[in-house]
């Protein structure tokens, strides 16, 4: 062979070079080709503000594994990449930067701010893409998209206009999540629930008697975690089945401080078993209360300004911060005798994941998508199996959301993002939804309009991702060929924020599902099982791991032991084990190449030995099983099988078994060994390639010259001609015998270099034949000086130790394994050492001073030592007795 591998494996020296080669050769690029079957994955678009984290690393490794696997199987594989504009995250970053310059977004104005935003995108937007390339991601970078590029922007506008025309999109007042610091509505995905220490304030409202007077004796008691919202109460609710309150249903209560009469309504929403069974209803500040309010036609009173201060509806508390008002209200209720008690209460509080501000549920006029009918095809698709969720248990989460669907708030009070294509007539206020500003108002004829200042929720544009990236709303050839896509790989934490929205959007705008399968993965947690976060400081930078261990080691670590939908813990020890595996493959490959003749071994199969057939048969089974596992998205199971085969069967067994043939003079058997080594290594590298693309490429291209890259080579297929059942059975029997002999030698403390005569006894003709042909393996693998294969125990010493396996037994004369005199001397020294240790331990444990003053842990430690040394002494004495009897 003219080429050879470097002495040591250095990922830094090869990964960038190999990736550039793949890019230059356009291996990642896919074009419409009707002679091939397409296989498409769209990337969950990372934020342009993003820095690669372990979740990205796992998500993109899984996608890359699937796309490389399918590409090698001959599919026309497209992995569609792109990034998300991330409205809030990006706007926050830019505002922070402006603050450093002493400038606000209002100072710049909308157009000036957007110029800065696009500059920011140009400067930082490609950062995460370059990091994904470091991971080895084989996306079609020629097709890279951005959620605010011209094509995607056109798709968003088209969808908004179409859905508004159909009545799916409307403007109205509903409860939304409001961030008082960012001054915008935010999606459920951006609300992070954190456990906070709070209180339950038990408050009572007086009943209004028939004569209109406020009762001094009759009250209705409830508990709340947000007493300030009482300013907006418009009712109190009880369960209609609750006997305690049936007599007051329909009566009025006096809302203290505000002095407003509010009704007692009956609603099954109230849990009779929780607290007092009474719930205050504030329709403008609680999503559940909002629904109760709708059912009972209750007024909706918003008591908060956008900055979470109390508005004019709060009377004397107007202008106070929400928490300042809370204290004042509680104090006044206490003075009025209406504060029953305060209980400590720890509960989950919604905070904005960006600025960590506690969000306020607030009734606001916003743009919404009507979901009740829109969601139905998405429900049917999963129920019918048209769309498959992996693992299947994710269906429970899916249907829990679809069954409790609420209209989707899609407007955001931001400047960076897709601006809502709605225009208000300056003359009469008429709303016109249009792809561009109208020329004339259809109602009054006015020619002056003001565009809605809001932008769309980021999820609105990413919901269109599977088809907007392929050219929709134009009916492009790409769209016709690559849609629907095949697999979506994503974390289970955004199942309804993104996955479900893509599904109903696909059915609504394409008339077809957006993908056939959704493969969910879990979260990467730290070694203690905690979620990685900035606040805990336990995040791990994938790029640092790559710099130290290489991308292949990180990729293998992330997938080994990984099961769909399950969280996994990250240990550095596992990365080191993956790096060691890479070294193992490298060294084994280098050894094979060093033994290859200059002219190579040719493609024609030579006459194979049984052990050659055994490894080919094992490989054949691996090909069938690993391929099946990958087809079923059992990526962790597949790679574990490939790992075990390469490390155990190929490196530790087969290479060791054929070394004597490589160094021998029989050219025929040497050629067969080399042909098998090369054949098996190439297919093993192909099976490993989707997981560890860099090292497999370097070895593959060095080992052979027929193909220019492993990533465009053919995926191995099961071959009936490589099924060698008898040879597999025979070699596995020899392996079992060797393992047994190795265990005996370890137990008897036999020196590694000591050789011993061995007798293999069996009455089975197949076993006798297998052991006769495989006798040479016992010399290199089990320390045999000579092997005799026979049908009975004739001539075998009575003191021989034995290894019994199915169908045969191996006997080794005791004196062959152990130098009895030398072993007696060693055991006598050990006996002397243990006598000293036992004397020391017994001395301490019999010392009253030690026993009275030593810590309990120290005493327990010494007692454990006494038990250990006593057991060891018994074994040494027993062994000495045996040996002295044989000396």
* pLDDT digits 0-9 by tens, 354-400: 788 899 999 999 999 999 999 999 999 999 999 999 999 999 999 99
Q: Are residues 305 and 251 in the same domain?
A: yes
311-356 pLDDT, tens per residue?
A: 999 999 999 999 999 999 999 999 999 999 999 988 888 888 778 8
Least confident of 155-159, 353-357, 398-402, 738-742: 353-357
Three-point CA angle 642, 645, 647, nearest 5°: 105
Residue 392 burial (10 A CB sphere; 0-12, 13-18, 19+): exposed
Q: Are residues 845 and 696 in the same domain?
A: no
In a domain, 557, yes or no: no
Backbone φ, ψ for residue 350 (5° rounding): -75, 125
Q: Which residue has the tokens 């403390």?
A: 749
Q: Are residues 351 and 272 in the same domain?
A: yes
The pLDDT value given to residue 196: 84
Compute, in degrees rounded to 10, the torsion defined by CA atoms 531, 535, 538, 543.
Answer: 100
Summarize the annotated binding site for ATP as residue ranges: 534
Q: How far apart (Å, rounded) are the C-alpha atoms in residues 777 and 787?
A: 10
Structure tokens at 67: 């796309």
For residue 733, give the CATH number of its domain: 3.30.2320
508-532 pLDDT, tens per residue?
A: 999 999 999 999 998 888 788 787 7
For residue 355, give the CATH number of its domain: 3.90.740.10
For the cut 90, the answer to whether the pLDDT of residue 634 exceeds it is yes
Q: Are residues 200 and 344 in the same domain?
A: yes
Q: Which residue has the tokens 């993109």?
A: 60
- CB–CB of 230/282 below 8 Å? yes
Q: How far apart (Å, rounded) are the C-alpha atoms in residues 43 and 63?
A: 8
- CB–CB of 275/222 below 8 Å? yes
Q: Are residues 231 and 343 in the same domain?
A: yes
> What is the full DSSP assignment across 499-558?
IHHHHHHHHHHHSS-SEEEEEEE--EE-TTSPBP-TTTT----HHHHHHHH-HHHHHHHH
In a domain, 561, yes or no: no
> Which residues contact residue 436 at a Cβ distance below 8 angstroms, ignoring those fewer than 6 apart?
421
Q: Are residues 235 and 316 in the same domain?
A: yes
Residue 36 burial (10 A CB sphere; 0-12, 13-18, 19+): middle
Structure tokens at 528: 């203690």
173-194 pLDDT, tens per residue?
A: 999 999 998 889 988 878 888 8
- 496: helix, strand or coil: helix
For residue 840, give the CATH number of its domain: 1.10.287
Compute, in degrees rounded to 10, the torsion defined by CA atoms 722, 727, 733, 737.
Answer: -100
The pLDDT value given to residue 2: 46
Measured CA to CA in angstroms, residue 211 lies from 204, 206, 214, 252 at distances of 20, 14, 9, 12
pTM over 0.85, yes/no: yes
Q: How far apart (Å, rounded) are the C-alpha atoms in residues 838 and 863?
A: 11
pLDDT band at 204; cut points 50, 70, 90: very high
- Closest alpha carbon to 229 in 151, 311, 168, 172: 311
- CB–CB of 378/508 below 8 Å? no
- CB–CB of 359/186 below 8 Å? yes
Residue 689 burial (10 A CB sphere; 0-12, 13-18, 19+): buried
pLDDT band at 887; cut points 50, 70, 90: low
In a domain, 173, yes or no: no
Tell me which of 665, 698, 723 is where a domain ends. Answer: 723
In a domain, 109, yes or no: no
Q: Are residues 347 and 210 in the same domain?
A: yes
- CB–CB of 748/818 below 8 Å? yes
CA distance from start to end of the chain: 56
In a domain, 509, yes or no: no
For the cut 90, the answer to whether the pLDDT of residue 621 exceeds it is yes
268-297 pLDDT, tens per residue?
A: 999 998 889 999 999 999 999 999 999 999
- CB–CB of 89/354 below 8 Å? yes
- Closest alpha carbon to 815 in 759, 743, 887, 717: 887
Structure tokens at 778: 């016992």
For residue 601, give the CATH number of its domain: 1.10.730.10
Tell me which of 818, 842, 875 is where a domain ends. Answer: 818
The pLDDT value given to residue 32: 97
Structure tokens at 833: 């050492």
Mean pLDDT of the chain: 92
Backbone φ, ψ for residue 624 (5° rounding): -65, -45
In a domain, 665, yes or no: yes
Range of the domain at 774: 727-818
785-832 pLDDT, tens per residue?
A: 899 899 998 888 877 888 888 888 888 888 787 777 877 887 788 889
Q: Are residues 807 and 705 in the same domain?
A: no
The pLDDT value given to residue 535: 64
Q: Are residues 772 and 837 in the same domain?
A: no
Q: Are residues 810 and 861 in the same domain?
A: no
Task: Say what percent of the chain tops pLDDT 70.
Answer: 99
The count of C-alpha atoms lying within 13 angstroms of the C-alpha of 370, restricted to the half-sphere facing its C-beta, is 11
Summarize the annotated binding site as residue ranges: 534
Q: Are residues 315 and 235 in the same domain?
A: yes
In a domain, 83, yes or no: no
- Closest alpha carbon to 89 in 47, 125, 126: 47
pLDDT band at 534; cut points 50, 70, 90: low
Q: How far apart (Å, rounded) are the C-alpha atoms in residues 610 and 764?
A: 18
How much is the average pLDDT of 645-651? 97
- 373: helix, strand or coil: coil
Structure tokens at 658: 């054929």
In a domain, 7, yes or no: no
Backbone φ, ψ for residue 771 (5° rounding): -75, -30
Compute, in degrees rounded to 10, the torsion defined by CA atoms 278, 280, 281, 285.
Answer: -140
Q: How far apart (Å, rounded) are the C-alpha atoms in residues 402 and 123?
A: 40
- Closest alpha carbon to 307 in 172, 184, 177, 457: 184
Measured CA to CA in angstroms, residue 713 lies from 134, 601, 697 at distances of 22, 20, 10
The pLDDT value given to residue 825: 82
Total residue length of the chain: 887
Task: Say what percent of the chain tops pLDDT 90.
Answer: 72
Measured CA to CA in angstroms, residue 510 lies from 42, 67, 151, 161, 475 at distances of 16, 24, 16, 16, 10
Structure tokens at 228: 């300030």
The pLDDT value given to residue 1: 41
> What is the full DSSP assignment across 638-704?
HHHHHHHIIIIIIIIIIIHHHHHHHHSS-HHHHHHHHHHHHHHHHHHHHHHTTTSHHHHHHHHHHH-
Q: How far apart (Å, rounded) are the C-alpha atoms in residues 66 and 635?
A: 9
- CB–CB of 409/174 below 8 Å? yes
> Which residues contact residue 549 at a Cβ distance below 8 angstroms, ignoring those fewer than 6 apart?
11, 575, 576, 578, 579
> What is the full DSSP assignment across 260-323?
EEEEEEE-TTS-TTSTTSEEEE-TTS-HHHHHHHHHTT------B-TTSBB-GGGGGGTT-BHH
Tell me which of 361, 381, 399 is where a domain ends. Answer: 361
The pLDDT value given to residue 540: 82
Q: Are residues 859 and 751 in the same domain?
A: no
- CB–CB of 12/550 below 8 Å? yes
Q: What is the largest CA-CA distance in the chain?
A: 119
- CB–CB of 144/26 below 8 Å? no
Number of domains composing the chain: 4
């Amino acid at each position: 062979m003219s080429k050879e591998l470097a002495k040591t494996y250095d990922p830094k020296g090869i990964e960038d070079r190999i990736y550039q080669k793949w890019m230059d050769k356009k291996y990642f690029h896919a074009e419409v080709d009707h002679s091939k079957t397409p296989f498409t994955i769209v990337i969950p678009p990372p934020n342009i503000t993003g820095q690669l984290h372990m979740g990205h690393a796992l998500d993109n490794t899984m996608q890359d594994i699937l796309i490389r696997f399918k590409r090698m199987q001959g599919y026309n594989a497209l992995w569609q990449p792109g990034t998300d504009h991330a409205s809030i995250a990006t706007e926050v970053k830019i505002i922070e930067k402006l603050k450093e310059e002493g400038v606000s977004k209002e100072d710049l104005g909308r157009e000036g701010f957007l110029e800065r935003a696009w500059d920011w995108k140009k400067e930082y937007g490609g950062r995460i893409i370059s990091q994904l390339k470091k991971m080895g991601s084989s996306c079609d970078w020629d097709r890279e998209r951005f959620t605010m590029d011209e094509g995607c922007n056109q798709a968003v506008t088209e969808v908004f206009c179409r859905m508004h025309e159909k009545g799916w999109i409307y403007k109205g007042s509903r409860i939304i999540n409001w961030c008082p610091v960012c001054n915008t509505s935010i999606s459920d995905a951006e609300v992070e629930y954190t456990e906070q220490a709070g209180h339950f304030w038990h408050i009572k409202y007086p009943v209004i008697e028939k004569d209109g007077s406020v009762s001094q004796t009759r009250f209705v008691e409830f508990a709340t975690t947000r007493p300030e919202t009482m300013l907006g109460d418009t009712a109190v609710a009880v369960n209609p089945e609750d006997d305690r309150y049936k007599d007051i249903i329909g009566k009025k209560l006096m809302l203290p401080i505000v002095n407003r009469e509010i009704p007692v309504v009956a609603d099954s929403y109230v849990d009779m078993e929780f607290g007092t069974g009474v719930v205050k209803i504030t329709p403008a500040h609680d999503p559940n209360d909002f629904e109760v309010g709708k059912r009972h036609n209750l007024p909706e009173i918003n008591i908060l300004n956008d900055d979470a201060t109390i508005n004019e509806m709060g009377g004397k508390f107007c202008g106070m911060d929400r928490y300042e008002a809370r204290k004042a209200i509680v104090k006044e209720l206490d003075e009025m005798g209406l504060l029953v008690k305060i209980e400590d209460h720890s509960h989950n509080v919604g905070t904005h994941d960006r600025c960590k501000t506690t969000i306020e549920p607030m009734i606001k006029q916003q743009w919404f998508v009507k979901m009740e009918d829109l969601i139905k095809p998405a429900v049917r698709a999963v129920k019918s199996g048209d769309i498959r969720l992996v693992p299947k248990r994710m269906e429970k989460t899916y249907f829990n959301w679809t069954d409790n669907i609420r209209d989707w708030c899609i407007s955001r009070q931001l400047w960076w993002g897709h601006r809502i294509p709605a225009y208000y007539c300056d003359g009469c206020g008429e709303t016109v939804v249009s792809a561009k500003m109208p020329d004339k108002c259809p109602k009054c004829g006015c020619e002056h309009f003001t565009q809605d200042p809001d932008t769309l929720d980021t999820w609105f544009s990413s919901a269109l991702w599977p088809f907007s990236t392929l050219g929709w709303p134009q009916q492009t050839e790409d769209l016709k060929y690559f849609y629907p896509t095949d697999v979506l790989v994503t974390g289970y934490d955004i199942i309804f924020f993104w996955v479900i929205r893509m599904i109903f959007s696909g059915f609504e705008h394409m008339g077809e599902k957006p993908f056939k399968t959704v493969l969910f993965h879990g979260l990467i947690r730290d070694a203690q099982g905690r979620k990685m976060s900035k606040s805990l400081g336990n995040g791990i930078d994938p790029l640092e791991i790559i710099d130290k261990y290489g991308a292949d080691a990180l990729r293998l670590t992330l997938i080994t032991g990984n099961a769909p939908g399950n969280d996994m813990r990250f240990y550095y020890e596992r990365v080191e084990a993956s790096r060691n595996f890479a070294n193992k493959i490298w060294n084994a490959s280098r050894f094979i190449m060093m033994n290859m003749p200059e002219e190579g071994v040719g493609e024609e199969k030579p006459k194979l030995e049984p052990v050659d057939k055994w490894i080919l048969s094992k490989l054949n089974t691996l090909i069938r099983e690993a391929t099946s596992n990958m087809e079923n998205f059992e990526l962790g199971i597949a790679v574990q099988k490939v790992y075990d085969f390469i490390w155990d069967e190929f490196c530790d067994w087969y290479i060791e078994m054929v070394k004597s043939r490589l160094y021998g003079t029989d050219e025929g058997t040497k050629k067969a060994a080399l042909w098998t080594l090369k054949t098996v290594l190439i297919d093993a590298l192909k099976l490993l390639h989707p997981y560890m693309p860099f090292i497999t490429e370097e070895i593959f291209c060095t080992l052979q010259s027929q193909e220019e890259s492993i990533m465009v080579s053919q995926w191995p297929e099961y071959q009936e001609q490589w099924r060698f059942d008898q040879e597999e059975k025979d070699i596995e029997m020899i392996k079992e015998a060797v393992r047994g002999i190795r265990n005996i030698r370890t137990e008897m403390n036999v020196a590694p270099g000591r050789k011993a005569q061995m007798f293999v006894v069996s009455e089975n003709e197949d076993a006798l034949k297998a052991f006769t042909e495989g006798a040479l393996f016992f010399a290199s693998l089990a320390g045999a000086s000579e092997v005799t294969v026979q049908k009975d125990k004739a001539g075998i010493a009575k003191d021989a130790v034995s290894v019994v396996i199915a169908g045969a037994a191996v006997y080794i004369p005791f004196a062959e394994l152990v130098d009895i005199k030398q072993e007696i001397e060693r055991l006598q020294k050990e006996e002397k050492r243990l006598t000293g240790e036992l004397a020391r331990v017994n001395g301490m444990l019999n010392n009253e001073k030690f026993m009275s003053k030593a810590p309990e842990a120290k005493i327990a430690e010494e007692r454990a030592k006494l038990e250990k040394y006593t057991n060891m002494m018994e074994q040494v004495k027993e062994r000495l007795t045996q040996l002295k009897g044989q000396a």
